[in-house]
């Protein structure tokens, strides 16, 4: 009887271990598709922000700015060494050759979205401030780190 309980216990431990491993380790496919999805979401939210600001719906736009900022922080973990190719990635090898610079740009893009959420309260030219703190960061990163598409 005791023997049986021991076997069942061991089995349960092995089962829960293998579950927690598979929950933590994302596959290359999940990582590449995951980062593409986050960039696409940021793009959709960026367009929504522009539309909202055009009609002066500043408070409605702010949570979207925070969301983009948070996504950029998550994205810092979405470029491990083993995800340089496959699954139609447009990520360029230059990312891994200049990882510090790439991460700094990602961090800046995130910080700038927080700055934007403050700047819109007082900015006279909403278009200019969006260009400076939101859209400008997309192109400066894409120019160096994303393949032409
Ligand atoms: C710090 C770098 C960086 C910043 C900032 C950045 N991007 Fe990107 N973006 C990338 C990289 C790298 C890829 C390619 C990812 C891949 O294919 O694995 C990408 C891919 C994309 C994609 C394609 C996603 C897909 O489904 O293939 C879109 C859309 C996009 N970015 C929009 C934006 C927009 C809009 C902004 C600004 C609001 C932005 N990105 C800011 C680096 C950046």
**Size (the chain), residues:** 149
Ligand 1 centroid, distance to 138 Cα (angstroms): 7
Ligand 1 centroid, distance to 113 Cα (angstroms): 15
Lining ligand 1 with CB less than 6 A are 32, 35-36, 39-40, 42-43, 46, 89-91, 102, 105-106, 109, 134, 137-138, 141-142, 145-146
Output the pLDDT for position 18.
59
Q: Which of 114, 146, 149, 116 is nearest to 131 (CA)?
A: 116
* Distances, alpha carbon 38 to alpha carbons 34, 72, 131, 134, in Å: 6, 8, 20, 15
Output the pLDDT for position 1.
66
Position 64 pLDDT exceeds 80 = yes
Cβ neighbour number for residue 101 with a 10 Å cutoff: 14
């Amino acid at each position: 009887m005791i023997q049986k309980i021991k076997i069942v216990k061991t089995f349960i431990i092995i089962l829960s271990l293998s579950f927690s491993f598979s929950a933590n380790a994302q596959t290359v496919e999940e990582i590449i598709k995951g980062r593409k999805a986050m960039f696409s979401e940021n793009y959709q939210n960026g367009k929504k922000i522009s539309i909202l600001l055009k009609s002066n719906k500043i408070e409605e736009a702010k949570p979207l700015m925070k969301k983009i900022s948070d996504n950029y922080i998550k994205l810092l973990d979405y470029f491990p060494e083993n995800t340089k190719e496959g699954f139609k990635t447009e990520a360029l090898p230059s990312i891994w050759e200049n990882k510090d610079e790439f991460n700094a740009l990602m961090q800046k893009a995130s910080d700038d979205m927080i700055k934007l959420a403050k700047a819109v309260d007082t900015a006279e030219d909403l278009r200019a401030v969006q260009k400076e703190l939101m859209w400008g960061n997309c192109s400066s990163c894409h120019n160096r780190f994303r393949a032409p598409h």
